[in-house]
A and B are shown apart, each in its own frame.
Chain A
Amino acid sequence: MSLSLAEVMKVASLARLELTEAEMEQYQKQLSAILDAVDHLSELDLNQVPPTAHAVAQQNIWRDDNIRSSLPIDEVLFNAPEQKENQFLIQAVLDE
């Protein structure tokens, strides 16, 4: 299984990663090698096998519906790179 450079660029864009050309080429090689190694799975007949998403299956777990205290806003915002009026500040996403 060999990944093309275009595929690597597409995946990087999906993952919101900005890669240098050298990184792209390196990942093209390494990811192709890893995909070859995992291709081993195609030997298995899995048609009748159900998937396992979690080691210990549990369903519909709810916590008790009790009111609990939340963190104070200043603590929540303490690590924010930028903040304004008790909110996280980012660049405008829509045109003004």
Chain B
Amino acid sequence: MIDLTSLTLTACRTALRRGETTSVAATQAMLDRITTVDNELKSYLTISDELALEQATAADKRRENGEDTPLLGVPIAVKDIICTRGVETTAGSKILAGFIPPYDAFVVQQLKDAGAVLLGKTNTDEFAMGSSTENSAYFATHNPWNLDRVPGGSSGGSAAAVAGRLAYATLGTDTGGSVRQPASFCGVVGLRPTYGRMSRWGVIAFASSLDQVGTFGRTVADCTAIFQVTAGYDQRDSTSIAAEVPDFEAALTGDIRGLRVGVPREYFIAGLDDDVHQTIRTAIDKLAELGAEIKEISLPHTEYALPVYYLIAPAEASANLARYDGVRFGPRRPGADQTETVKRTRSLFGPEVKRRIMLGTYALSAGYYDAYYGRALKARTLLKNDFLEAFKQVDVIATPTSPTTAFAIGEKVDDPLQMYLADIFTLSINLSASCGLSVPCGFDRQGLPIGLQLIGNTLQEATILNAAFAYEQATSWHKQTPPI
């Protein structure tokens, strides 16, 4: 008998369509593997097993009736910052412990319409603030390639679940790199679409001008299949873009002859790990071998991405997180009066969340607004223009996803600035109007995965997905599986 959990999403879908297996069998196989493995991996915060089996049974019935939808019967999981009707959603925070959303996020509704089965909710840094998933208020997630290492973050649970074969695909969110960086650390494919391509309705807000839902898969085709059904315009998100959703799956031709690939010199700097550097150069050579034209380019304001991001994101977060006051949802810690009750309740935030609220409040406060937040918004224009200029010369930009491979659990928790540097290559994409993905491109000397970041212009996800697909088909990294 085949091990159903070893199948890719697309192979599982084919097996379901051919009647070679059932959704109940695939769902049960995943749930069994979660029971066996996830006490070590810790990728799930909530496992909705009963609901999953109900959904799987319904999916099998629909298929018996001759129905078919893009993900009918395919078990997936969703980051715990995305609202799921009737299933606890905490954003990895104690301040939302026990919160049961009364509605599904748009992207969750899209998954349900496509027939997907929800296995559960995956771990995240609290309110998606972090690069290692160690900031989850519940527990840290481990890297499937080496349990002493972090899976990256903040969507570390979603990345580890896909790499560990505990879901066929997952949703994450990416505000500064939170899909691509964990995809890189866990050796899976992670896509961060253009801002506005995915609805943010029902996604718990961190930094509203940067937040975007992204998708994880073990292969480019898997990552594309879940992206295909979750992308699209939603009237309830005023920043959602009313653009056609192309047939992304059909765009995976594997032909990249003549594709212009830019390599920005500012991304090959001191602090970039040697193994990562060599591996990325080799991957770029492979793109050239496949017919791409490689050009050195410049993104001159790259060094300002980190300061711009760490002013804008905390500023927006401090405003968004003002709503956690113990009035409408979440636990309440009563004090002598309402103000004290609000303050005590807000003590349920963890240290990184409080740090960012403090930083953001400071950057927005009277007397400092112009010097910090105002300057950051202007510098953001320069970063955005860098990309617009670059995309006049090239179709795709290739860089490392992160300067290093997965670091040790505990290594950076006490040094926020060091932790922030893990996202130095991914932040600019969120600040600009670009899209980006990470595709596995090799391993370092310690056997830890390395990711190649491919960046595309506004709404050009099909271009970067096809470039990643061409690269993947010419290499075998995606066929390697972690020891767990």
Q: What residue of chain B has the Cβ atom nearest to residue A83's Cβ?
A: B328
Number of interface residues of B (CB under 8 A): 71
Closest to A93 in B: B338
Q: Which of A49-96 contact B (CB under 8 A)?
A: 49-56, 58, 61, 63-64, 71, 75-76, 78-82, 88, 90-93
B330 at the interface (CB under 8 A from A): yes
24 A–B pairs (Cβ distance < 8 Å), ordered by A = A11-B361, A11-B365, A16-B342, A16-B343, A31-B358, A31-B362, A34-B310, A39-B307, A41-B304, A42-B371, A44-B375, A49-B379, A52-B384, A53-B209, A54-B195, A55-B196, A55-B430, A55-B431, A56-B194, A56-B239, A64-B235, A78-B102, A82-B332, A91-B337
Q: How far is the CA of A93 from the CA of B343 in the complex (A)?
A: 15
Q: Chain B interface mostly helix, strand, loop or mixed?
A: helix
The 3 A-B pairs of least Cβ separation, nearest first, read: A51-B377, A81-B332, A38-B307
The proximity string for A residues 1-28 relative to B, scoring 1 for CB distances below 8 Å and 0 otherwise, is 0010001100110111111000100010
Asked if A41 contacts B376 (CB within 8 A), the reply is: yes
Considering the chains assembled together, what is the distance between the CA atoms of A78 and B347 in angstroms? 23
Inter-chain contact B378/A16, CB cutoff 8 Å:
no
Contact present for B310 and A37 (CB under 8 Å): yes
B70 adjacent to chain A (CB < 8 Å): no
The verdict on A41 contacting B99 (CB below 8 Å), with A30-B416, A46-B379 known, is no
Please give, as numbers and ranges, the residues of chain B lying within 8 Å of A81 by CB-CB distance. 326-327, 329-332
Kindly state whether residue B210 has any CB partner on chain A within 8 Å.
yes
Q: A44-B382, A55-B209, A79-B102 are in contact. List 17 more A-B contacts (CB 8 A).
A: A11-B362, A17-B343, A27-B354, A37-B306, A37-B310, A41-B308, A42-B375, A51-B380, A55-B210, A55-B431, A55-B433, A56-B239, A58-B196, A63-B235, A90-B327, A91-B334, A91-B338
Q: Give the shortest distance, in Å, between A16 (CB) and chain B (any CB).
A: 5
Interface presence of B311 (CB below 8 A): yes
Are A58 and B329 within 8 A (Cβ)?
A: no
Complex interface: chain B residues within 8 A of A44 (CB): 304, 375, 378-379, 382
Query: Which B residues between 73 and 117 are near A, CB-CB below 8 angstroms?
Result: 98-100, 102-103
Nearest A residue (CB) for B430: A55
Most buried by B among A11, A23, A31, A64: A11
Q: Which of B325, B380, B431 has the most CB of A within 10 A?
A: B380
- A15 to B304 alpha-carbon distance, docked (Å): 27
Contact A38 B239 (CB under 8 A): no
Q: Which residue numbers of B lie inside 8 Å of A, CB to CB? A: 98-100, 102-103, 194-196, 209-210, 235-236, 238-239, 241, 303-304, 306-308, 310-311, 318, 322, 325-332, 334, 337-339, 341-344, 346-347, 349, 351, 354-355, 357-359, 361-362, 365, 371-372, 374-382, 384, 416-417, 430-433, 458
Task: Report how far A89 CA is from B327 CA in the complex, Å.
Answer: 7
Residues of A within 8 Å of B306, CB to CB, are 37-38
A52 touching B358, Cβ below 8 Å = no
Q: Provide the residues of chain B in CB contact with A90, threshold 8 Å.
A: 327, 338, 341
- In the complex, what residue of chain B is closest to A79 when comparing beta carbons? B329
Q: Which residue of B lies closest to A71 (CB)?
A: B102
Q: Is the CB of B195 within 8 A of A19?
A: no
Write the nearest CB–CB distance from B277 to chain A, whole angstroms.
24
